Structure 1
């Protein structure tokens, strides 16, 4: 029996550049191209094996590590509703790491590992020739000054997608902590600088990512932005009540804007218990896809894996396991045309409408 051909996947979010930035190995290009450690999710050999055609490669300024008291013996390891907000990050710290990850992205391009894409046409061309199509994305805008001078420079370098916040406050707005069960209605809306950032992104045709943003900030973006609303890596709050997931009204606002959501593979945002147990099955992922399709329609759903940034189900494991999810959708009754839309066509179409 012949195996079904690989369905290409264009993914809404990964944190592989952070992994490369944090590693002590000097030859980062070789590490990515020849094989990263087994506990990483993406490298070039595994990408080819799994049909991973590219995606939004995030530059995420890592948080400053804080010492926290250990949990008492016997304390629950399940998620709770008292998780503190991550502390703010200085612009100098954020700029150092963001530029460091951008440098790695461009070095990977020079080494022939991928193509940095500045338009949907670039993505299609890269996919056609078998090169990983990488969109320059920032997750958390701490590296950008409130005068937005850095935004112009980063856009000229290739920035095409921007998450205003990660799960911490910054000069532009407020993220949500990783609480469960919890509403995303935590904290204030966008600052004046955040509202100016939204307008500047619209002007420059930079996609705005709503993942990690709190409810009031989401409402501010929805009121201000003239672009489709996009959450690159979020799930359905009615199934898994994490503060990181999208409520019914948020999904409705995204639908009304003809926007899009990428399914996050992180088990903690999939499991109805909020558990990060890696035994969470593909059936739960399919359940979220069903709910996203019902809320958004066939043009509004994609993948936003969070590879290299979160714990992933053992039934996928890493990027080489993407065909397992595709097969699960197929067995659930999804036709090949819909599968291709979810796997890559919807993201490319969305980026064409937003960045050109």
Structure 2
């Protein structure tokens, strides 16, 4: 959500109009799922994708209509069977999506623009459930939104809901927006460069910390959000939290020992330690204390998924893939064709059988 928020902020500061698109319903196989967003700016810039780039051109035409009429609009795309041929988009998908378009006009709709910016800014600091009216008998209600407080025992479910708003039955889309993940990287060696670049490609917030000024600088890490040079043996003043992901790759045993001791006391969900198991065992033994299983379950060593990586770039890819899996809270790290070994496998076996004759 951060790139879209930043683009909305840019448009607001420059008086540029735009349209926010959100997928509010999906059925079957689709490129993106409910809650996915894109933002089309009137100067032609597109941030985010709702398809593989196929419907975005059509969305731009509808976006102009939304801006000209200062009103929201819901679009339905059905690509099942011959749906893609009917639309002339040639997606080759086998599903349908509904997309809700809402105007973002810092000149004529200043109040709603400021409200949207406020909501999405807050959403980058803590998890937020957002409710938006997409259907109502009173046209002025469509597009109104508010933040919903999550109850841990009864969390708000994303999707479409019929509710009463100002004594009127309306259709609301609720959407859970998660904050931007934060990568804190201890170690600014050459092998850290592709990891930082890859994390920024994922739009994560990245901090790089090292004791060597000649390493931890903008020349080596131009895309990093934060660069800290801390004397060796010192613990930096940091706030590590539930959305923080930590990677230790200083290549210095005593420094890693200091860092690991401090980080294990935090609530971060991912503590990656570069190096072989034997080295990490030695670090843990040197700490000389017992740790709960829950604490140790957050420790990843060797770091990354097993993809046979050898180069720094490939190693960075395996680390990023593992962190994304932990961040999303799902996934096995196995090949998708193994996870989906059903109809496609039968199809392949059938084709092989046909070729045999």
TM over 0.5: no
Larger helix proportion of the pair: 1
TM-score for the superposition, normalised by structure 2: 0.29
More RCO (CA 8 Å, sep 6+):
1
- Over alpha carbons, which structure has the higher Rg? 2
Q: When the two structures are superposed, what TM-score results if normalisation uses the length of structure 1?
A: 0.29
